[in-house]
Amino acid sequence: MANHLRFLGRTVMVQNGNVEAAYSALNRILSHDGLVEVVRRRRYYEKPCRRRQRLAYEACRRVYNAEMGRKIGFLARGSRQDPWPGC
Amino acid sequence: MSAALAVAWQRLLGAAWGGRGATLCRGLRTGPQRLQDLAEAAAAKEAENQSATDLSPLILQRNSMRWDGKIYEEIPIAHIKATYNNTHIQVVSFDNRPFARTSCGTEGFQNAKKGTAIAAQTAAMAAAAKARGKGVLHVRVMVKGLGPGRKAAIKGLTMGGLEVISITDNTPVPHNGCRPRKARRM
């Protein structure tokens, strides 16, 4: 970020002296943007073989969680008008 | 084209910050105004989270807000470097004149105790006291690193009497630069 304006990105203004809320907002933004885990991961070097394993694991996990979420949402739907559609 | 001009303005101002103060500040405001509009969506995502108070105009209004009659770009900066083993705090004016510099080591903590939140808080309170002695009231905070003293140092600054007006995260993220050390516990 050295070539960018210093106080433009990753800045949170403090409202009404509420520093805690501002800090938690900043943390939420950073973790939502994935910066926190990137910094933590870069602390030690991650070899290419480990990196490939991790990416494959994360992709599988993403697919699995999405499908499981879909299944749970399907099974947990309530207040249906016709509980036996098609019969 | 105008975006390139704005970028050129920033580089010029980044290089020549100290001596020109007010005149370039006025020029600076037109450049980043455009970037503020663009970056408003990215930098002010908390607007969606804080539904009661709309924050996105706050970034645009920042140029009209005054603290003790000073504009945002003239308020001193408190750099907090929060490593895993220590926390350094330095309060600097906007043109890089130093006000106060403390760390957990200067506060009498040693070795492992330096890498704690309490040490960071005491160091921040000491830095705040020194800066108050030199007449600093408002401060914008730039935090670098993820360490135990990250939040505690900001809290210590407020407890020491400085008023924090904004928090910036300046954690260095290389775009695949230097190779870090090897993983532990092989």
Task: Give residue-wise pLDDT tens across range B14-56.
Answer: 444 433 434 444 444 444 454 444 444 344 444 434 444 455 5
Q: What is the mean pLDDT of residues B150-157?
A: 93
A9 and B CB contact within 8 Å: yes
Residue B44, pLDDT score:
43
Residue B34, pLDDT score:
46
**Residue-by-residue DSSP string for B109-130:** --GGGGGSHHHHHHHHHHHHHH
Residue B17, pLDDT score:
40
Q: How far apart are CA B142 and CA B112, in angstroms?
A: 24
* DSSP β-ladder status, B138-144 and A11-13: unpaired
Predicted confidence band of residue B80 (pLDDT cuts 50, 70, 90)? very high
Q: How far apart are CA B148 and CA B115, in angstroms?
A: 7
B chain contacts of residue A43, beta-carbon cutoff 8 Å: 180
Task: Kindly provide the ipTM of the predicted complex, given to two decimals.
Answer: 0.78
Residue B57, pLDDT score:
60
Share of chain B above pLDDT 90, in %: 58
Q: How far apart are CA A77 and CA A14, in angstroms?
A: 42
Q: What is the mean pLDDT of residues A53-62?
A: 98
The half-sphere exposure of B1 on its side-chain side, counting CA atoms within 13 A, is 0
B43 and A CB contact within 8 Å: yes
Which of B2-11, B34-43, B65-74, B80-89 tops mean pLDDT? B80-89
Q: For the whole model, what pTM was predicted?
A: 0.71
Residues 28-87 of A with CB under 8 A from B: 28-30, 32, 35-36, 38-40, 42-47, 50
Q: Which residue has the tokens 């300046």?
A: B170
B165 and A CB contact within 8 Å: yes
Lowest mean pLDDT among A31-40, B6-15, B112-121: B6-15
A chain contacts of residue B164, beta-carbon cutoff 8 Å: 14, 19, 22
Predicted confidence band of residue B61 (pLDDT cuts 50, 70, 90)? low
Please say if the pLDDT value at position B149 is more than 60.
Answer: yes
Between the alpha carbon of residue A27 and those of residues B15, B45, B83, B150, the distances in Å are 30, 12, 17, 11
Q: Which of B46, B142, B151 sits opposite A25 (nearest CB)?
A: B46
Nearest chain B CA: its distance from A82 CA (Å): 37
Q: A interface mutation test: which of B169, B170, B173 has the most A CBs within 10 A?
A: B169
Residue B72, pLDDT score:
87
